[in-house]
Structure 1
């Protein structure tokens, strides 16, 4: 197990799946924990297990991030607890259901959780990290951030926000001692799929990664200082080319004249 800077990690969506594994790995690496999720009993069981195995301090912080009052309590915790050195924005929801078959209220709640809650928690944590000159934020995005046709478009749009937000935040905080990483999981063996109505067993086995492997790879990318970590992408040159093309275009995306292809033929 690689080592991490000492401190306290606040992890959202920590009661199961990827969030629970982040809790386990970070505790093994020397972090104390604040575990945030709705399911109190699961949180307590996980906290007791981690305390017993690692000896780390683990605080259970029940909260529903879709509820404004609960969300505000987590924001206050991040602003007031100077011991928190790492925020893992893992909580999120998704679906594979096509856009026109989806309930708009459910989609709005997805945006509230995947976008609004993540943004507010980041805004609560980042100023303290900057003031102290150290800290880190890990945002769990998805491969659909760059492949929105793969699943439901609202889900893809919400995860594209997470990626763009993370990249912009990293750019702004790079010289202030704060690290920002976006993690883009592919299909991962968690209850995410069953919750969305498509059990993971129905997916081709060759595209589904074990959650343990996903988290271990993501944390290795974090230690290496990666801005974006895509554990399933074997050919990293493809991502590098994608990013290079994006940066090449950037200076040319705004101009005072339309491109010649949009000028009316004489």
Structure 2
């Protein structure tokens, strides 16, 4: 009897972090669905991985900045052969100070970073809950903890990813579905060049390889960590952050204002 391999769908799979996820999952016996805009690069990657690892690979070219592209992938998740893992990796940065933003560029980025991720997460979570298992990995950014000139649009998009994913984790509890929030720092990919930056501008000790990032993410799944911050030495720091957040939340809705707002 043929053994059914797990199947993972990776967005932004033609380069960078997405490509490394695809390579790692292929080595560990996953069939793949590869999603990106560049069909030629996807096909070249698929051919190489299929030949090396004897796995089945679907190539699904789609522009996640366009509604039609997003719906093509969502329909594949909803109605095609079962998907065991979704890696929402596609995303990019369009940066400028708020007063100088190119609004069309901002809108295009938000379509990929927010709307596409939300739609694919919704499709995958619904189907995975129905079958009682599955894994979703949503990729945020270390900039969610920072406020920097020129980063309002991108940083806010990744704050959406963070909040949306944490809500998903609450809703997925007890269903058999795992939802991971991955929070990378600076990763050595072409992401920075596309965003108009240069890796050379970062101290080497702040730059992680995409390979290490992916290893940490998949190891965190094994450890049961819902939030993976690969270079954070002790997850107690995240726990303290979440506890502080809960302390604020407990006092945001009261029947009276705080004493400091009373005159005199």
Q: Same-fold call, TM > 0.5?
A: yes
* d(CA) in 1 for partners of 2:98, 2:53: 44
- Give yes or no for contact 1:13–1:92 (8 Å, CA) kept in 2: yes
- Give yes or no for contact 1:182–1:227 (8 Å, CA) kept in 2: yes
* d(CA) in 1 for partners of 2:235, 2:213: 16
Alignment coverage as a number of residue pairs: 261
* d(CA) in 2 for partners of 1:141, 1:261: 36
Instruction: Give the match for residue 43 of structure 1.
Output: 42
Q: In the TM superposition, what is the alpha-carbon distance from 1:6 to its structure 2 partner?
A: 4.4
Structure 1, unaligned runs of 5 or more: none
Judged with a 3 Å threshold, the aligned counterparts in structure 2 of structure 1 residues 125 and 254 are, in CA distance, closer, same or farther, namely: same
1:196-241 deviation line (CA, Å, top 9, x unaligned): 1112122221111111111111111122221111112224332221
RMSD: 1.6
* d(CA) in 2 for partners of 1:101, 1:232: 33
Judged with a 3 Å threshold, the aligned counterparts in structure 2 of structure 1 residues 259 and 33 are, in CA distance, closer, same or farther, namely: same
- Give yes or no for contact 2:94–2:106 (8 Å, CA) kept in 1: no
Q: In the TM superposition, what is the alpha-carbon distance from 1:8 to its structure 2 partner?
A: 0.9
Instruction: Give the match for residue 146 of structure 1.
Output: 145
Judged with a 3 Å threshold, the aligned counterparts in structure 2 of structure 1 residues 40 and 90 are, in CA distance, closer, same or farther, namely: same
Instruction: Give the match for residue 87 of structure 1.
Output: 86
Alignment of 1:114-133 (within 5 A): 114-133=113-132
Alignment of 1:219-234 (within 5 A): 219-234=218-233
The secondary structure found in structure 1 opposite 2:9 is strand
The secondary structure found in structure 1 opposite 2:187 is coil
- Give yes or no for contact 1:95–1:151 (8 Å, CA) kept in 2: no
TM score, norm. by length of structure 1: 0.93
Q: In the TM superposition, what is the alpha-carbon distance from 1:150 to its structure 2 partner?
A: 7.2
1:11-30 deviation line (CA, Å, top 9, x unaligned): 10000000001111112222
Alignment of 1:1-266 (within 5 A): 6-149=5-148, 152-265=151-264
Q: In the TM superposition, what is the alpha-carbon distance from 1:56 to its structure 2 partner?
A: 1.2
The secondary structure found in structure 2 opposite 1:233 is coil
Structure 2, unaligned runs of 5 or more: none
Q: In the TM superposition, what is the alpha-carbon distance from 1:264 to its structure 2 partner?
A: 2.9
1:36-86 deviation line (CA, Å, top 9, x unaligned): 000111101111111122111111000000111111111100101242011
